[in-house]
Amino acid sequence: EAKRRSRNTISFFTSEMTRTMMRRLEMESDLRRAIEHDELEVHYQPKVDILKGAIYGMEALVRWFHPTRGMVPPDEFIPLAEEIGMIVPIGEWVLRTACRDAMELRRQGIPMQLSVNLSMRQFREADLVERIAATISEIGLDPSFLELELTESILMTEAAQSIAALNEIKRLGVTLSIDDFGTGYSSLSYLTKLPIDILKIDRSFIQHCGHDGNSATVVSAIINLADQLGHSVVAEGVETVAQLAFLRERRCSRIQGYLVGKPVPLHTFVAQLDRWRKIAVALANPII
Ligand code: C2E
Ligand code: MG
Ligand code: MG
Ligand code: MG
């Protein structure tokens, strides 16, 4: 009986594994065709200045609408895209699309700072800087309107090479930020050597800063660190008024989060803008 059961367990486990593997292989070949099949979309989340009461920018976040699986979240397909190298054409497509959209907004009289995520794998491409330069000049976007978000992992590997590449990007006139700051393991001394403009405090710290002392301490420390290094700071994932109150008290002026708005398609972004602006003004002028 025990033998039979263990055999069953093994065969069940194996078919589970097979299913997982099949799904992965399927996703992989589907992802390779996602661009040509027009399945990718860029959504935009508003960035808010809570001291000025303004919507000053937007972050481009890619979405994959799979023909049968529906929307596949980036946390699921970006790691896969990185593994199989597809992140390079996808990242390029996102940058191009987002720059075009930002130009379109400018034409409509709505200038927005645009930030685009850059993956580790893209960063290793020898011609990355040339490609970024070509894209922004082809579209005609003022490079000072563009910000590229990198994660700390980029900063840990190939130190000297990374600094050189970052300097080249900076020379284009593009702003650089470190995304998900505080979740990586980069040394703080290294941080002083980087031509970085902005630290984005990871959502995991923001989530608890309104009620948990330790998270609050970490958030305060990052704000102070950014201040001391002459960097700006953006809080990501702000969902509650308590979190907002804490950030305002700490003089953190820039936020992103569901409290103001979720990532949405460009036309929705435009349609929501008036409402978001009113929220931003209200956040800047609290009644209490
Ligand atoms: P990220 O760059 O740190 O982006 C912030 C993520 O937090 C987004 O998830 C956003 O929708 C979510 N978020 C924002 N505010 C809130 C909030 O108040 N509450 C909660 N619960 N979540 C909030 P999303 O769009 O699912 O993207 C996840 C990650 O996928 C991104 O994290 C980024 O690392 C990656 N990603 C997305 N688009 C791209 C892209 O075009 N290129 C690359 N390389 N990575 C991308
Ligand atoms: Mg980001
Ligand atoms: Mg982030
Ligand atoms: Mg992230």
**What is the C-alpha to C-alpha distance for residues 106 and 139, in angstroms, rounded to an integer?**
12
**What is the C-alpha to C-alpha distance for residues 255 and 6, in angstroms, rounded to an integer?**
53
**What is the C-alpha to C-alpha distance for residues 223 and 91, in angstroms, rounded to an integer?**
30
Instruction: Work out the average pLDDT over 58-82.
Output: 96
Residue closest to 247 by CA, chosen among 262, 236, 263, 261: 236
Give the mean pLDDT of the chain.
91
Q: Is 49 exposed, middle or buried (0-12, 13-18, 19+ CB in 10 A)?
A: middle
Q: Is the pLDDT of residue 58 over 70?
A: yes
Instruction: Work out the average pLDDT over 101-108.
Output: 97
State the pairing for strand pair 254-255/40-49. antiparallel
Tokens 């097979």 belong to residue: 18
Residue 232 has what pLDDT?
96
CA distances, 132 to each of 86, 122, 173 (Å): 17, 11, 11
**Tens of pLDDT, residues 128-159:** 999 999 999 999 999 999 999 998 877 676 57
Q: Counting atoms of ligand 1 from 1, which one is nearest the CA of 116? A: 41
Residue 285 has what DSSP assignment? S
pLDDT: which is higher, 22 or 40: 40
Instruction: Work out the average pLDDT over 33-41.
Output: 96
3-class SS shares of the chain: helix, strand, coil, % to 5:
55, 20, 25
Residue 67 has what DSSP assignment? T
**What is the C-alpha to C-alpha distance for residues 57 and 78, in angstroms, rounded to an integer?**
23
Q: Counting atoms of ligand 1 from 1, which one is nearest the CA of 43? A: 25
Ligand 1 pocket test, candidate residues 117, 176, 179, most atoms within 8 A of CB: 117
**What is the C-alpha to C-alpha distance for residues 138 and 140, in angstroms, rounded to an integer?**
5
φ/ψ region of 85 (left if φ > 0, alpha if ψ in -120 to 50, else beta) reads: left
CA angle in degrees (0–180, nearest 5) for 134-135-137 = 65
Q: Is the pLDDT of residue 19 over 90?
A: no
**9 and 33 Cβ atoms separated by less than 8 Å:** no
Q: Which two tokens stand for residue 160?
A: 């000297």
Q: Which two tokens stand for residue 122?
A: 């893209």
Q: Which of 18-27, 130-139, 240-249, 263-272 has the lowest mean pLDDT?
A: 18-27
Q: 123: pLDDT confidence band, cut at 50, 70 and 90?
A: confident
Of the ligands numbered here, which is closest to the C-alpha atom of 202? 3
Q: Counting atoms of ligand 1 from 1, which one is nearest the CA of 73? A: 26
Q: Is the pLDDT of residue 223 over 70?
A: yes
One-letter amino acid for residue 221 of the chain: A
The CA 116 to ligand 2 mean position distance, Å, reads 7
pLDDT: which is higher, 107 or 160: 107
Q: Which residues have any ligand 1 atom within 6 Å of their CB?
A: 45, 61-62, 73-75, 78, 87, 91, 94, 117, 119, 149, 179-180, 203, 236-239, 256-258, 263
Residue 35 has what pLDDT?
94
Sign of CA dihedral 92, 97, 98, 100: positive
Q: How many residues are given for the chain?
A: 288
Residue 9 has what pLDDT?
60
Q: Is the pLDDT of residue 113 over 80?
A: yes
Residue closest to 148 by CA, chosen among 133, 126, 158: 133
**47 and 58 Cβ atoms separated by less than 8 Å:** yes
DSSP state letters, 162-231 = HHHHHHHHHHTT-EEEEEEETSS---HHHHTTS---EEEE-HHHHHHHTT-HHHHHHHHHHHHHHHHHT-
